[in-house]
Amino acid sequence: MEGLVQWTRSSEQFLVEDLRGRRCLWDRKHHSSMKKGLKMKNYEEITKRLGEKFPELADLHTDQVRAKFSNLKGYFIHEYKKIQAAPSGSCGKPSSKWELFDLMSFLHDTVASQPTYSSDINEQVNPIDNPLVIEVTQNTFDEFQIESQVRILQLNLCPQL
């Protein structure tokens, strides 16, 4: 089992700065984002560089680096969405107090381009503004029609006594 890694703010900053230049690791729109071999090679290079720069991370594994970035990215998304959800007013938009927020701002476009879905079942959605709603509604309706037709056929072929 892998030991507990003692990340410092400096090692986290180093990780983020190194990842920033490796777009295939964080941008799903990047042409190389689906190349697993290339991504693994990049993570291996980052892991090696971290071990060289920070002796306490010499035994670091690639999976630990990936997990750390995943956690940092998740927290950035949490903070970003919290800021976006804040009501606007005379005070302006709040900012994050998290030390790595500004450093990770290169992820802004990837977060902003992700679709959002409402968990409020009563929310009114205008299908013209959201073509996905039309597609889902049409698919659901088609599935309902097919299920209904199958049920009618079953009843006609095997009438209940």
Mean pLDDT on 38-42? 88
pLDDT band at 127 (very low <50, low <70, confident <90, very high): very low
**What is the number of other CB atoms lying within 10 angstroms of the CB of residue 42?**
21
CB-based contacts of 21: which residues, under 8 Å, 6+ apart? Answer: none
Residue that wins the pLDDT comparison between 131 and 42: 42
The mean pLDDT of the chain is: 74
> Would you list the domain boundaries of the chain?
9-112, 120-161
**Does pLDDT of 46 surpass 90?**
yes
Q: What is the pLDDT of residues 5-25, one digit of tens each?
A: 889 999 999 999 999 988 877
Residue that wins the pLDDT comparison between 157 and 26: 26
The span from the CA of 115 to the CA of 117, in Å, is 7
Q: Max Cα separation, the chain? A: 79
Q: What tokens were used for 73?
A: 């990215």
Q: Is-contact 104 98, C-beta < 8 A? A: no
The span from the CA of 131 to the CA of 146, in Å, is 23
Q: What is the pLDDT of residues 69-94, one digit of tens each?
A: 999 999 988 888 888 887 766 466 66
